[in-house]
Amino acid sequence: MANLKEVKNRINSVVSTQQITKAMKMVAAAKLKRAQDRITMMRPYSQKLSAILQNVSGSEDSSMENPYGEHRPVQRVLIVLVTSDKGLCGAFNSFVVRKARSLMEGKYADLVTAGNLEFLPVGKKGLEYIKRNKLPYNGEFVNLFNPLSFEDSSRAARYIMEAFKKGTYDKVEIIYNEFVNAATQVVNVEQFLPIEKSEEVDKNQASSANDYIYEPSKTYIEEELIPTSLKTQFFKALLDSNASEHGARMTAMDKATENAGELLKDLRLTYNRTRQAAITTEILEITAGAEALAAK
């Protein structure tokens, strides 16, 4: 049985850890509120903008030059791996990495064998995983989440868009955690480029696709609106991931605090038993000594 000093030291250590995890939970909860508000406000705008962009891309108007909607034979693929810069957020990063591994071993197995699949890590944890497993990657974007801004996100989006436009990649997919609530995050694989054509456009809409009125001009839409909308879609994915990270960290720290409490109960019980055993041993020794003296 452990001595009292060892048990007491463990109790003090667990109490200190519990205080840290409780504080981290409170910090994550505060950050989650702000991140949740941002993604809640951004999501409807992003979804509507994406639908409009898909409808325009799916139209029969051949005069619209959209290099980001060009569908080519898929020979080279870029996977954007969105993870966190920090740990202590449960299985948040593991789920993203697992999905990437699943794509490598399944959907893109032939491209991996041919060396035509590359990664673009957004977040330190993804970069660490890629380097640790010696996976091919092109560029890296870390510290985008501290703080997360549209300007910093646009740098990464612009880098990806230029690579696709030059023909470096024929397809770009983003793997990230989509925020549902504080306790639930869903790993999402989203095609970023080329722009997918809307499958919800019925025949009547398709036949009237040429009736779109472009304001201020088609050139402006090609050069400004489409790139801006793509940057917005990318920013939305990062906002989703950011909110998911804080939710996952809050949940993980809450569970860690509860586990520390359960461990403290066991340690204090062990401490009391050890203390009682020590007292009993001392009483027995005193009694035995008294009996020995009385026998003399």
| 208: pLDDT strictly greater than 70 | no
- In tens, the pLDDT along 18-38 reads 999 999 999 999 999 999 999
- Give SS3 for 83: coil
* Domain ranges, residue 76: 24-252
Residue 207 placed within a domain:
yes
The pLDDT mean for the chain works out to 87
Residue 294 placed within a domain:
no
Statement to judge: residues 90 and 160 lie in one domain: yes
Average pLDDT over residues 135-151: 89
Q: What is the pLDDT of residue 211?
A: 58
Statement to judge: residues 32 and 126 lie in one domain: yes
Tell me which residue of 122, 141, 78 sits closest to 104, measured CA to CA: 78
68-72, 182-186, 217-221: which range is least confident on average? 217-221
| 263: pLDDT strictly greater than 70 | yes
Statement to judge: residues 166 and 103 lie in one domain: yes
Compute CA distances 232 → 17, 71, 77, 159, whole Å: 40, 21, 21, 14
Residue 296 placed within a domain:
no
Domain count, the chain: 2
Average pLDDT over residues 63-77: 83
- List the catalytic residue out of 24, 53, 82, 89: 89
Statement to judge: residues 121 and 172 lie in one domain: yes
Bridging pattern class, strands 171-181 and 77-82: parallel
Residue 143 placed within a domain:
yes
- 89 catalytic? Reply is yes
pLDDT: is 180 or 62 the higher one?
180
Average pLDDT over residues 226-251: 93
